[in-house]
Amino acid sequence: MKFSENWLRSFVNPALSSAELSHLLTMAGLEVEGLDAVAPPFNNVVVAQVLEVVKHPNADRLNVCQVNVGEDQPLTIVCGASNVAVGVKVPCARIGAVLPGDFKIKQAKVRSIESFGMLCSGKELGLAETSDGLWLLPEDAPVGTTIREYLELDDHIYTLKLTPNRSDCSSLFGIAREVSALTASPCTPLAITAQAVALEEKLVVKVEDAQACPAYYGRLVRGVNAAAATPVWMQRRLERSGLRSISVVVDITNYVMLEMGQPMHAFDAATLSGGITVRRARAGESLTLLNEQVAQLDPEVLVIADDARVLALAGIMGGQGSGVETTTRDVFLESAFFHPDAIVGKARHFGLATDSSFRFERGVDFAATQLALERATQLLIDLCGGQVGAISAVRGTLPTRPAIELRRSRVTRVLGIALSNEQIADLLSRLQFEFTPNGDDYRVTPPSFRFDMSIEADLVEELARLYGYDNIPAIAPKTALTMLPYSETQRPMSRIQQVLVSRAYQEIVSLAFLEEQTERDLCGNDAPLVLQNPIASNLAVMRSSLIGGLINALRFNLNRKQSRVRLFEVGACFAKSGDDYVQTQRLSGLAYGSCQAEQWGVTAKNVDFYDVKADVEALFASLSLRFAAATHPGLHPGRCAQIYLGDALVGWMGELHPQWQQKYDLPLAPVWFELQMDTLLGSKVPRQQEISKFLPVRRDIAVLVDEIVPVQNLLDAMAKASTALVQEITLFDLYRGKGLESGKKSLAFRVLLQDTQKTLTDLEIEASITALVDALLQQGAQMRS
């Protein structure tokens, strides 16, 4: 929100500089994003009137002017502007003036004629981007008055970053009320005079949804001059608040909104059919808004209508065909209180962001709704004339402000300082809170303009703000430090992250929202969790897997010439189970590009399934994983596996499907894995085992099997048949090709046998190996000779 410092100081004028006032507001929770001067620094520039213009005797494009600057004798000034003329009033920089850019005005001889100053354009004063000549001032500009004083250029524009809870400060008077409370300076109340009713005529107003619109006030004003000019002081305040002047009636409603925080609307009474109705829109209705956008309405939208059509989106924007024009003679002024729940989100639904919706969504002062109508009527009569009609009012059940119990002991405990009863009472009074003291406790009733006051903590915060955060001492905490219990059956997250970091992965954090099509492509999710109010159209669904964020991060890196990428993420994934929503923590990783960083000692090779498989096994070090071929909608059909820990499915891994590799414009296929986080956090407690003093015995078993037989099936069969003497079974050789039948492969397993108590005999060794061979034969294997 923007506002003029001069306008603010017309209500409350504390003994603070502009910078000090900015700091005060920021420390009180009203962050000042910007503090800008209205005009660049310059001096000794006054309003002047040109009395005489004569052609320069020695230059075709110059004129010699006699200029009245408010002194006894006029000044002679040589000027080359094409629009200089007798009688015009313009800014005049006198000798000694310093203009923007440190341009100093001196007495000078121009083509043999002495010049005692300079007539200025808006660009030369730093007040315009371009200029076609002198800046022509209004005819009533007082000659001799400094330009800075006449145009109120010694002013600053504050830009506030209001938090949603401080809707009471979305007006000049609200900010003035806040400054008054912070500084204990007097605040001048609004000078509002109720206008005498000259017409008993009034429109019939009906409210069909009293919960959405608890209060509606309107009145007819006939015989206005809508073509009247908006006064300069009002235009100046509007412009410095970020609003352009449109017409006098519209400017009045905007001015009241800025001044009091109450959005208003003015209808051309001649365009209305019958009375005014506040209702929900009907299916199929539409409205062409003032910005020429056509809004398709539904029953969720609250509208203002007459007997024939919809006139406006309640609390958001008016429609075309009923607004005030310069030819308007009769005006219907509207001032209403719309409940925030009825307005919130509706403007964004139509792609709008208006000053009215900004205030109604956060809550306006419902006690000042009629007062704002009186203020607008007063300004309308003063500036446009007319006859005032009676007020049409519909009042329902307005929001209540329940009393809040405030304990002095609680204030002391939370703030760490002891405020006296007198201090607390003074601070509450400055906030305009009604309260009843009861010993050290208070029963506090917030005013109608404070929607953010509901619990005791809110009041404590208000006391802290007014007391001043800078005045609260920073006391270092004192406490006894004790070690928390740590279970060896759980691994800390940091250890898991460190494993991946040590293997050249880098952690990312992505949004939990995805584009719907990405979720369908990579996860095969035809019924994703759709957000009701997404922050962007490409972030419309909740993710069911982390793969989408990793692919997006990979593309981001590839677009920045990163050819080798290793990424991982720990995050929540979301799914629906029946009527419930399920959230699970997962760890997901992705590898792309060369297996190792480019170097002279290693032959370049792109990362493959088995490289990432080794990374996954490193995460489960000391535990045995099993990988089973499977299909996944996002992965290559022949290069995809499910990951099992025992009999439990704990994750997926594989190479990205060629279809998606092409769609997402990836030169190579990345290899991806995803694991359930809870399975990674578990850990086995180390157990002491006796180390054998006897040498191990190695035996190799070579078999022929069909190409389609998974090695994991053979390992599982041997593990099940092995005796206690078998310590390790490992595949160490795989052969296909010459000397083997088509569709066959040769596998060689290393078997280590060992006993902790004795040297193994040939009989014991052969018995164990025979059991393993039998298990292989049952799987269809043939022993190689």
Q: Give the pLDDT confidence score for residue 578 in this predicted structure.
A: 83
pLDDT tens, position by position, 372-426? 999 999 999 999 999 999 999 999 999 999 999 999 999 999 998 999 999 999 9
**Short-list 440, 102, 41, 379, CA closest to 224:** 379
For the chain, how are helix, strand and coil distributed in percent, rounded to 5?
25, 30, 45
Q: How far is CA 570 from CA 578, 654, 695, in A?
A: 26, 18, 44
Q: What is the pTM of this model?
A: 0.67
| Amino acid symbol at 484 | L
Q: What is residue 206's predicted lDDT score, i.e. its pLDDT?
A: 95
Instruction: Quote the percentage of the chain above a pLDDT of 90.
Output: 82
- What pLDDT is recorded for position 491? 86
Residue 64 dihedral angles phi and psi, to the nearest 5°: -105, 120
Average pLDDT of the residues in 31-56: 94
Please give the Cα distance from 303 to 311 (Å, whole number): 7
pLDDT of residue 655: 96
Q: Which range (148-162, 326-340, 591-605) has the least confidence?
A: 591-605
Q: Length of the chain in residues, anyone? A: 785
For the residues 501-520, what does the mean pLDDT come to? 94
Distance between CA 276 and CA 137 in Å, rounded?
Answer: 44
In angstroms, the CA 22 to CA 31 distance is 8
The answer on pLDDT for 126 being more than 80 is: yes
Residue 771 binned pLDDT confidence (cut-offs 50, 70, 90): very high
Q: Is pLDDT of 17 > 80?
A: yes
3-state secondary structure 307-367: CCCEEEECCCEEECCCECCCCCCEEEEEEEECCHHHHCCHHHHCCCCCHHHHHHHHCCCHH
pLDDT of residue 211: 94
pLDDT in tens, 491-505: 889 999 999 999 999
Q: Is residue 486 scored above 90 in pLDDT?
A: no
**H or E element at residue 662:** helix 658-663
DSSP reduced 3-state for 562: coil
* pLDDT tens digits, one per residue of 693-749: 999 999 999 999 999 898 988 998 999 999 999 999 999 999 998 888 888 999 999
User: For all residues of the chain together, what is the average pLDDT?
Assistant: 93
Task: Identify the pLDDT of residue 239.
Answer: 95
Residue 334 has pLDDT above 90, yes or no: yes
Give residue 560's region: left, alpha or beta (phi > 0; psi -120 to 50). Answer: alpha
Q: What percent of the chain has pLDDT over 70?
A: 100
Alpha carbon 54 to chain centroid, angstroms = 61
Residue 624: what pLDDT?
A: 84
For 248, the 3-state DSSP assignment is: helix
3 state SS of 491:
coil
Position 479 scores a pLDDT of: 83
Q: What is the pLDDT of residue 411?
A: 94
pLDDT at 52: 94
- 682 pLDDT tier (thresholds 50, 70, 90): confident
Whether the per-residue pLDDT at 683 is higher than 90: the answer is no
Weakest-pLDDT range from 85-89, 115-119, 709-713: 709-713
Task: DSSP letter for 777, please.
Answer: H
Distances (CA, A) of 24 to 14, 21, 139, 452: 11, 5, 41, 21
| Contact indicator for 44, 104 with CB cutoff of 8 Å | no
How does residue 577 score in pLDDT terms, banded at 50, 70 and 90?
confident
pLDDT score, position 378: 96
pLDDT attached to residue 488? 82
Contact partners, residue 370, CB within 8 Å, separation at least 6: 215, 217, 335, 391, 393
- Residue 690, pLDDT > 90, answer no
**pLDDT, position 489:** 82
Q: What is the 3-state secondary structure (H, E, C) of 159-207?
A: EEECCCCCHHHCCHHHHHHHHHHHHCCCCCCCCCCCCCCCECCCCCEEE
Cβ partners under 8 Å of residue 245, min gap 6: 230, 234, 235, 238, 239, 251
C-alpha separations of 89 from 51, 67, 358 in Å: 10, 9, 42
HSE of 715, CA atoms in CB hemisphere, 13 A: 17
Q: Are 510 and 569 in contact (CB under 8 A)?
A: yes
